[in-house]
Structure 1
Amino acid sequence: MTRSLRTVFLLGLTAPVLLAPLAACSKGGERPKADLAASKVTTIGVNAYLWRASLDTLSFMPLVQTDSNGGVIVTDWYVNPQTPSERMKVTVSILDQDLRADAVRVAALREVNQNGQWVAAPVKAATVQKLEDIILTRARDLRRAAIAG
C-alpha cells in the first residue's frame, strides 16, 4: 500500500475520533446536525443501523455466517420450543449503505418434521415481510437514538 493511500485509510478510520472534540466547539455550543441515515463512512460496508438492527432482530437464532462488508447474515436452523416439529433458517441481505426500505431483503426456509425426516415446507410471505418490517423499525429507532444522543 502506498504511503498516501495508507494515510487516507488510517485517517478514514480515525477521523471520527479526531473530529469528535471539534464538534463541541461550534457556535453557541450547539452540535452540528448530521445526516446519520446515510452512514456512508463506516468501518463496515453497509448501513450500520440496518446491520445492527438485523443482528438484534435475529439474536435469538444461532448465526452461521456474518459478513459486514457484504451485508449478509445467515442463521442456522432454529427450532421454536413451542413448535418442535418445525424449523426455520433465515438469510438477511443488506443491499445499500443508505437507510432505505428497499435496502434490506430477508429470505427464509422452513422445514417440518415428518416421520423423523425434515421436509421442505412453504414460508408465508407475511413472515418474511414481518421480519423486514421489524428490522427497518429497529434501524429507524437506532437512528433516532443516535441523533437525539
Structure 2
Amino acid sequence: MAVRRQAQTWSGWLVAGALTASLAGCGGGGWFGGSGGAQGTSPDPTITDGRDREAALAGSGTVWDLFVNASPPDTTVEVNRYLWNAALEVLDFLPVETVDPFSGVIVTGFGTPPGGGRAYRAAVLVNDPAMDARSINVALMTRAGPADPATVRAIEDAIMTRARQLRVRDGRL
C-alpha cells in the first residue's frame, strides 16, 4: 500500500513538472524569460546593454499584451476640415442625425434633394487629413435600398469640388 501511494506521489510530481516545462516552452523567451540562448547573447549582435536588449525584444509580444491598452489616450483621427465642411454643405438638404468631427462621421436621415422626388439617406466618413478622393467615403441609401453608384459618385465629386473651392477661398493652395 505504501509503495502504491509513493508511486502516485511521484507520478503527480512528474505530471506537474511536465506541465511546467511545457508552459515555460510556450513563452518563447527561454526557461526564465531569458533570450533562450547562451548568457549574454541577443538577437542583434550590436546590442550589449540589458536595456537595449529589452527594447529590441519589446516587439515580440505575448498573449497578455492583448489585455494591455498600449495606445496613447490622446490619439485622434485627423479629419480634413475642407472635406468635412464641404460634405455638410453639399448634403445640407438632409436632416443631420449624428455628427462626430473627431472621428469624421456624418450620418443623416432621409430627405429629398431640391427638384428631386426620391428620398436619400447618407453616411459620410472623412478619414484622412489629405485633400484626396480616398479621404472621403460616402454611402447613400434610398428607401428601396442602396443608391445608384453613379449618384454616389456625383455626390463625392460635388463634395470634392466644394472642398477645393473652400480651400481656394481660404487662400491655402
TM-score under structure 2 normalisation? 0.51
Cα distance per residue 1:29-62 (max 9 Å; x no partner): xxxxxxxxxxxxxxx9411100110111111111
Aligned length: 98
**Matched residue, 2:125:** 93
Change (3 A) 1:69 1:139: same
* CA RMSD between the two structures: 2.4
**Matched residue, 1:56:** 89
Matching residue's letter, 1:128: V
Superposition deviation, residue 83 in structure 1: 5.6
SS, match of residue 78 in structure 1: coil
Distance 2:116 2:93 in 1: 15
**Matched residue, 2:103:** 70
1:105 to 116, 132, 137: 137
Distance 2:119 2:90 in 1: 17
**Matched residue, 2:159:** 135
SS, match of residue 171 in structure 2: helix
Q: Residues 15-26 of structure 1: matches in 2 within 5 Å?
A: none
Q: Whose strand fraction is larger, Structure 1's or Structure 2's?
A: 1
**Matched residue, 1:21:** none
Structure 2 residue runs of 5 or longer lacking an equivalent are 1-76
Q: Which has the larger radius of gyration?
A: 2
Structure 1 residue runs of 5 or longer lacking an equivalent are 1-43, 112-119
Change (3 A) 1:81 1:143: closer
Cα distance per residue 1:75-119 (max 9 Å; x no partner): 1111457665x42110111010111111011001111xxxxxxxx
Superposition deviation, residue 135 in structure 1: 0.3
The answer to whether the 8 Å contact 1:45/1:68 transfers is no
Q: In percent, how many aligned pairs have the same letter?
A: 38
Distance 2:84 2:151 in 1: 20
Comparing both chains, which one has the higher relative contact order based on Cα–Cα distances under 8 Å and sequence gaps of 6 or more?
A: 1
